[in-house]
Structure 1
């Protein structure tokens, strides 16, 4: 039973140790987490949605506007009878309804140019979003590479510390046996302390690089994070494209260049739209109105189609009452039929319906120089957009030239560092043999070990610097960054 409990405790301890450190993450997983959590990207997403709303509004400007109005009122005291147009002292209720529609036929192509402007604004915002994602990707890749680099340097420092500690143990035994002087042990103890300090510094650099990677991923510092060290075979040290060729390719691939060009086109469309304000505006309008009043909501008379005639006047000499003349004037009138039903709301609204169609032409003559000022601002914005294009192109060129020079220097440094490591390894091997037979003192042996450690560190730095800079150049050419 005690063995079973002991086994359970060991398994739980191993489970806690394994999962407490957190699962290792690849570079792609780190990039995905950063893209999901980055606030700048979220802000850019909402910026795109804002421009899409503006585009939807610009599309709606092509459609007619339709508005319906209605009102209900209670009148007390003296009121106007809408049928007889006479005043009457009586409480009454009234209903008024109205439907209006208007469509712009021509306004100097402002609607069309505003639509084109908003369309380019949406496309530019999409490119800005892609640029924000690219910045996050490059930042995470840089920090991820730094973690791998510092991790390898830390492993080298631990190896050097372990080697110096083993040598100290060996020297200590020889000093105790009387075959070596005490100064050899003291010198080696100093070397162990130096290597221990170097290991601590490398560990701090590794922890700092991991912390920076967590911050780029928007993760708390307390969350465990380990990275997968990928197999990074060193590629051909020859760069396939020069800086100018990479720049020409990047001009067609980089979203910041596309965004700047689209903003320039948007400014041009805004200028055309504002110039359209100088032109006349033609609008077609339609309206329908009706009303109801309770004053006429009672019995009413309507024409029944029966016509009657009655003498109304005569012309000629004075009439003889005993012998009326035959030149009388008769008044013909149509008969009326009384409807006992009340004049309901629906009937009144139907009978009182009024329709109207109109065309409105507005010619701008003077509006306080508002149109002129808007055009001037549009011209200035277009010139600023043009300057932004040149600034973006210059920034891109400088970044590519810097990355190319760094990659070229790293390529040469790697070749030199590789030769140095090979030479230092052979020298260290020979010095180790001489030290073991007593032909080399401890100081010279330590210097040989330190030289080998520095050569390996320089080789590691040159290796990762070249790989990363070459990946950056591939990124500018539209190739994905993947390890």
Structure 2
């Protein structure tokens, strides 16, 4: 029989051990959240988009180079591109070209656009860091809530166990006739109340764990337990006041840097648009060649000798025919093919192009006005971001001060309630205190411990937030 019981115990305990959840540290939770967060991924691709714009603005300083070519099949009367004469026969034609252009001056638009793209990339990187910071703060908040609810749940379990043990003692006293049945009923009601309180605390714990999972982008079915760090309050003193923390945050927070860079970018965009009022000077070069099948015949050149022509070129006053000397030709090639024609017919040109804007439908003026408005909005965004940061720091500092005072008060309250509960318990065990009075003392102690736990984690978290605004990493 004992062997059967032992086997059953093993069979029951093995699945429980196999299903034991991994304990997640704060760093692991933050790393998973940073890896899975979609806002961070969107910010990352936003950075890559601005990097592509920067690459394009760099390339604008380089000359453009384009090659082209074409083949034409002519039927009937057509223009010979080699001799520029019309021929009445079917023919083939090939043309090729290579052109290049380099902007020498365009009102410094290229330079200002390049500097604007540099600011945009830096601002996007700071926006990415801001997105990461928001995720870290959110995970730390939810992680702290889990720890807080875990301790409240443990306190509720302890209170339920204590009240259950007290109920067992009261039952024995009722059976012995030392207490009335009403004492037992009152204690049973207290046990039920404590059980309900424990269930509520467990529900709060499960909800906080679910919220943490959602922030990490992991399935709700993931079995998860949080590693409870050993959090100790070294002191209740805040090293920096709100104004000092704000000044430090102005130099370190990425949202401030991003807002300043975006204002600089808007200013450079304004300069670039104003450059459209100035003339544009560019250097262009062209090389082209062509081929025609009409010219594809045997090729001749003079051999250095001359002979009298066979056809008269005129008559004299004595009515005598006049003949001219003509160079004797020798064949040098049986045809004038594509390669030779394209080589011999090369045309090259270099030119300077000057464009002076006079009237373009007020497009430049409208672009400049929009750029001015964007700059004004960017300056407003800087002030708005600074105000938001200041308000967040002032709120966190005020909350930290309040939590510090609450913790000190709660600590005194717990010590007093523990001593009162210890004395009331002794009096109750000897029958000098009623069940109702004992239950009130027990409940007061539980509330005091809950308040102490709440103020403890609230102060730790608020102090960590102030450290974060000073550029310090959040670590437990």
TM-score band (shorter)?
over 0.9
2:396 aligned with 1:397, yes or no? Answer: no
Aligned-partner Cα distance in 1 for 2:436–2:390: 50
Q: Residue 102 of structure 1 aligns to a residue in which SS?
A: strand
Compare 127-136 and 68-77 and name the one that shifted more: 68-77
Aligned-partner Cα distance in 2 for 1:150–1:78: 94
**1:28-79 CA distance string (max 9 Å, x none):** 0000000000000000011111100001000000000001111112112222
Distance 1:169 1:83, change over 3 A: closer
Aligned-partner Cα distance in 1 for 2:147–2:299: 97
Match of 1:423 in 2: 416
Match of 2:379 in 1: 386
Aligned-partner Cα distance in 1 for 2:328–2:118: 67
Match of 1:324 in 2: none
Aligned-partner Cα distance in 2 for 1:11–1:260: 63
Match of 1:181 in 2: 180
Distance 1:312 1:214, change over 3 A: same
User: How many angstroms does 1:87 deviate by?
Assistant: 2.8
User: How many angstroms does 1:290 deviate by?
Assistant: 0.5
Distance 1:84 1:480, change over 3 A: closer
Aligned-partner Cα distance in 1 for 2:6–2:174: 44
Q: Could you tell me which of 433, 438, 442 is aligned with 1:445?
A: 438
Match of 2:160 in 1: 161
What is the TM-score normalised by the length of structure 1? 0.93
Match of 1:356 in 2: 349
User: How many angstroms does 1:304 deviate by?
Assistant: 3.4
Match of 2:474 in 1: 481
Q: Residue 230 of structure 1 aligns to a residue in which SS?
A: coil
RMSD over aligned Cα, in angstroms?
2.3
Q: Gaps spanning 5+ residues in structure 1: where?
A: 322-327
Aligned-partner Cα distance in 2 for 1:342–1:128: 69
Distance 1:77 1:444, change over 3 A: same
User: How many angstroms does 1:21 deviate by?
Assistant: 3.7
Q: Gaps spanning 5+ residues in structure 2: where?
A: none
Distance 1:303 1:282, change over 3 A: farther
Aligned-partner Cα distance in 1 for 2:315–2:101: 56
Match of 1:44 in 2: 43
Aligned-partner Cα distance in 2 for 1:365–1:341: 58
Paired positions, count: 473
2:363 aligned with 1:370, yes or no? Answer: yes
**1:170-190 CA distance string (max 9 Å, x none):** 101111111101110111011
User: How many angstroms does 1:120 deviate by?
Assistant: 0.4
What is the TM-score normalised by the length of structure 2? 0.95
Aligned-partner Cα distance in 1 for 2:225–2:314: 117
